[in-house]
Amino acid sequence: MLAKRIIPCLDVRNGRVVKGTRFAEIQDAGDPVELAAFYDLAGADEIVFYDITASAEGRRTMIEVARRAAEQVFIPFTVGGGVSDVQQMRALLSAGADKISINSAAVRRPDLINEGAERFGSQCVVLSIDCLRRTRPDGSVWWEVVIDGGRVPTGMDVLRWAEEGVRRGAGELVLNSIDADGTKDGYDNDLNRTVAERVDVPVIASGGAGTLQHLVDGIRAGKADAVLAASIFHFGQYTIAEAKAYMRAAGIPVR
Amino acid sequence: MIAIIDYGMGNLRSVEKALTYVGAEAVITQDPAVLERAAGVILPGVGAFAQAMANLRAAGLIDPIHQALASGKPFLGICLGLQLLFETSEERFDDGPELPRGLGALRGRVRRFPDGLKVPQIGWNTLRFPKETRLFAGIEPGSHVYFVHSYYAEPADSSVTAAVTEYGIEYCSAVEVDNVMAVQFHPEKSSRVGLQILSNFAALCR
């Protein structure tokens, strides 16, 4: 049976991991590649390198990160952050990245999804959506697409954008809840379930994980195919093995 | 030396680096002379079946691949490289009456996953072994490996099947017949288990 995935996400700035990590096993906790190789050995199912450098130089650094990761990381890895054209996608994929995650640039120019899917295949194109929970006057809930690191609202409905993204060729969706991000109160399971029930590609829950039960809830209540997390792993609060054991005990198929 | 065939279907760097990691010497090549010299040959590939056959034909690689298969040297197909070993695929190029033809080294066809499943299958799934093989020596039944695919092979002769995986249906996820081996999953992306499989293959290439 297909396993549900646990995906640690590493924020990278100028080629270095941004948030500090606390692992005795890691010599250079700031090196994204060494950290990713550690997560591979620890049982992570995939890795996401998210470039928060907002410069061309930062993006060149990410190509080097992908190149080095291909030599030491033997699970799939995704590179995202600031990717805005197929040339950048091509450079990262040929360096060894398995998937490219696109976000604001796809909102500005949706054809980027089609172009990436046509040239490299849908399996390479991950559409990442930053989502803000909104309430209509009648009390019903919807989610608004926000871009540029969650700063700029677009008026677009997340569900509509997710469906359009899949139609255009996105192979997976990452739903990052701006409301839940950093709260450690759990994923926005309403958001993830609403989208997962309407699309036929994997949905990856992101933002808000603070406990192992949150990972289980993300899969069960949120109907996500994978859970993305950062701080609960980076700071040594839980190991990947503990997370897998907890999910397995809850009856979720894991590797 | 293991030759990784480059025919413009996907990135081969991960396969090369995984082989290097397990101590094998690997080269990415389009050159039939290198295939002939190689101790083992890998046919990787990601993308569309018919396009892959067209690229192999354009690069003059069809005959060299058949020679490698017949030579007895270890041969490993990966992902699309497994599917191409079969006779035909349901992954149509156009609406013509004929299914696109593969290399035909193994009898059987490549089929699309049935409706109602999320396709492509993306993620980690398990292996069951119906027979003992050299490729999976030392690999525990139930081990997880990483898959990305929409089509699967249906061998006419089920005795070629080296591994079985369940995704809505039970399907053949690896084959092994003498020197001809192939896997539907990506060993280069399957962590320790995948590296062990590649190491097993590399050991046969000496």
Contacts of B127 in chain A (CB under 8 A): none
Closest CB from A5, A121, A255 relative to B46: A121
Query: Does B159 or A27 have the greater pLDDT score?
Result: B159
Please report the ipTM that was assigned to this predicted complex.
Answer: 0.94
**In the predicted structure, residue A58 carries a pLDDT above the cut 80:** no
Position A162 scores a pLDDT of 98
Q: What is the pLDDT of residue A125?
A: 96
The Cβ of residue B199 has, within 10 Å, a number of other Cβ atoms equal to: 18
Q: Which of A7, A72, A74 to mutate to test the interface with B (most CBs of B within 10 A)?
A: A74
A76/B191 touch (CB, cutoff 8 Å), yes or no? no
Q: Could you tell me which of B82, B95, B51 has the C-alpha nearest to residue A119?
A: B51
Q: What is the dihedral of CA A87, A92, A98, A99, to 10 degrees?
A: -60
Query: Would you list the domain boundaries of chain A?
Result: 5-249
pLDDT at A20 over 60: no
Task: Give the A window 191-230 contacts with B, CB below 8 Å.
Answer: 200-202, 225-226
Please give the pLDDT value at position B138.
97
CATH architecture of B2-204: 3-Layer(aba) Sandwich (3.40)
**How many interchain CB pairs under 8 A, A with B?**
74
- Label residue A54 by pLDDT band (50, 70, 90): low
Share of chain A above pLDDT 90, in %: 80
Residue-level pLDDT at A215: 98
Joined tokens for residue B173: 């996820």
Q: Does the structure show a pLDDT above 80 at A29?
A: no
pLDDT more than 70, % of chain A = 96
The Cα A243–Cα A208 span in angstroms is: 15
Is the distance from CB of A244 to CB of A250 less than 8 angstroms? no
In SS3 terms, chain B reads as: CEEEECCCCCCCHHHHHHHHHCCCCEEEECCHHHHHHCCEEEECCCCCHHHHHHHHHHCCCHHHHHHHHHHCCCEEEECHHHHCCCCEECCCCCCCCCCCECCCCCCEEEEECCCCCCCCEEEEEECECCCCCCCCCCCCCCCEEEEEECEEEEECCHHHEEEEEEECEEEEEEEEECCEEEECCCHHHCHHHHHHHHHHHHHHCC
Which candidate in B6, B13, B22 is best for mutational testing of the A interface (most A CBs within 10 A)?
B13
Is B188 labeled as catalytic in the residue annotation?
A: yes
The number of C-alpha atoms within 13 Å of A192 and in the hemisphere containing its C-beta is 32
Give the residue from B114, B118, B40, B27 showing the smallest Cα distance to B76. B40
Task: Give me the pLDDT at residue A53, please.
Answer: 81
Question: What average pLDDT score do residues A89-110 get?
Answer: 95
Contact A2 B119 (CB under 8 A): no
Nearest to A73 by CA among B23, B190, B9, B42: B190
Residue A9 half-sphere exposure, CB side, CA atoms within 13 Å? 24
How does residue B189 score in pLDDT terms, banded at 50, 70 and 90? very high
Residue A21, pLDDT score = 58
pTM of the model: 0.94
Predicted confidence (pLDDT) at residue B89 exceeds the cutoff of 90:
yes
How high is the pLDDT of residue B92? 80
Whether A71 and chain B come into contact, CB under 8 Å, resolves to: yes
* Per-chain mean pLDDT for chain A: 93
Is A5-249 assigned to CATH 3.20.20.70? yes
Confidence of residue A179 (pLDDT cuts 50, 70, 90): very high
B48 pLDDT higher than 80: yes
